[in-house]
Amino acid sequence: MASHFLKALSINHPIIQAPMAGGTTTTELVTAVSEAGGLGMIGAGYLNAESTRQQIQDVKRKTKKSFGINLFVPQSYQIDEEKISKAEEALQSFQGSSKVRVFRSFEQTEKDFHDQITVLIEEKVSVCSFTFGIPSDEIIHTLKQAGIYTIGTATTVAEALAVEASGMDAVVMQGSEAGGHRGNFLAGVEQSMIGLMALIPQTVDQVNIPVIAAGGIMDRRGIQAAKCLGAQAAQLGTALLTCSESGAHMLHKQAILEKRMQDKTTLTSAFSGKAARGIENNFIRDMRKVETELPPFPIQNTLTKSIRSNAAQNHDREAMSLWCGQNPNAAMPITVQNLMHKLVDEA
């Protein structure tokens, strides 16, 4: 079964690079992972159709190996002026706070998503994974007709069953250990916080499609453990984020690499309006008190955009989103090739 799964993805090793959106998954990162025999993934969640096409073509130019792409499934949202004003007030104390007043409507977000789908098909990307929900039957059907391998993301058995029922080919099970955004779409955030040790066995007992384990896996021990639990592959984010080829901000990498022994990641929805795990900083702490009243994703994400980019420019890690899984201790500042070598050689 495992080898069948690897064959379907045209990869040599059961290692998938997590599609970290927002600039981390550079063409260099994606290419290096695929060249090393894993599956590189373009995190296209925040890209428009044109940038999506651009990066796909860039990657294709640098590697002939299989790679994939990840899209955010748009979830319905409202633009609520009252909530936005309150959030702006709470954000005022942060350097770089600017009154962003251009919000994309849900309809525009949906159109962008459909345009991305068109690009994938035109560019014949071999693998497409989805986060934050399940695309329409029509989209899944179209992708499968085009020979694209589809992967859903789930955080509970119920969500995994929904992914399977949708006809997708495989499912990433995101454990509570995972850094970055929670992929829950049926469960509430708290209900979605299931550790992989408990999540993987009960999922493989109940779904028939291949299961990929994601969350806190940093080295060969985690990959082996995921296999013992019944997963076909492991998806690694934080371990690849600190690699030389990743586009994560230097301060982000440093924060993870310095975090040895500190046990300091936390969940916050203050950056984007959706819960995500990262290293605690002043922004997260200060926003805690208003966290439940903030506008939803992606409105809050738009509101904090200039704060985050100014913080990055000013080298102020206290207002950056420092996404990180629960085992930063094992992160290393090395090349993808060296990391993959360690993961595979010893696996």
* Residues that bind a copy of itself in the complex, under the rule CB under 8 A: 156-158, 161, 175-177, 187, 190-191, 193-199, 201-202, 205-206, 213, 215-219, 221-222, 224-226, 228-230, 261, 263-264, 266, 325-327, 329-330
d(CA 225, CA 220): 8
Q: Which helix (H) or strand (E) holds 89?
A: helix 81-91
CB of residue 138 to a copy of itself, shortest distance in Å: 28
CB of residue 62 to a copy of itself, shortest distance in Å: 32
d(CA 77, CA 164): 25
Query: To the nearest 5 percent, what fractions of the chain are helix, strand and coil?
Result: 45, 15, 40
Closer Cβ to a copy of itself, 17 or 268, answer by number: 268
CB of residue 79 to a copy of itself, shortest distance in Å: 31
Closer Cβ to a copy of itself, 142 or 266, answer by number: 266
SS3 category, 289: helix
CB of residue 155 to a copy of itself, shortest distance in Å: 9
Partners of 130 in the β-ladder: 71
Residue where the block lists tokens 């925040």: 46
CB of residue 129 to a copy of itself, shortest distance in Å: 20
CB of residue 192 to a copy of itself, shortest distance in Å: 8
Closer Cβ to a copy of itself, 36 or 178, answer by number: 178
Say how far residue 102 (Cα) sits from the centre of its chain.
25
DSSP-assigned states of every residue in 65-78: S-EEEEEEPP----
What backbone phi and psi angles, to 5 degrees, belong to 272? -130, -10
Closer Cβ to a copy of itself, 15 or 69, answer by number: 15
Closer Cβ to a copy of itself, 26 or 203, answer by number: 203
Distances (CA, A) of 108 to 24, 46, 104, 129: 25, 13, 6, 21
CB of residue 190 to a copy of itself, shortest distance in Å: 7
Type of residue at 272: S
Tokens at residue 297, please?
């994703």
Task: Name 138's Cβ contacts closer than 8 Å, sequence gap at least 6.
Answer: none
CB of residue 222 to a copy of itself, shortest distance in Å: 6
Which one, of 185, 74, 78, 187, lies nearest residue 139 by Cα?
Answer: 74
SS3 category, 238: helix
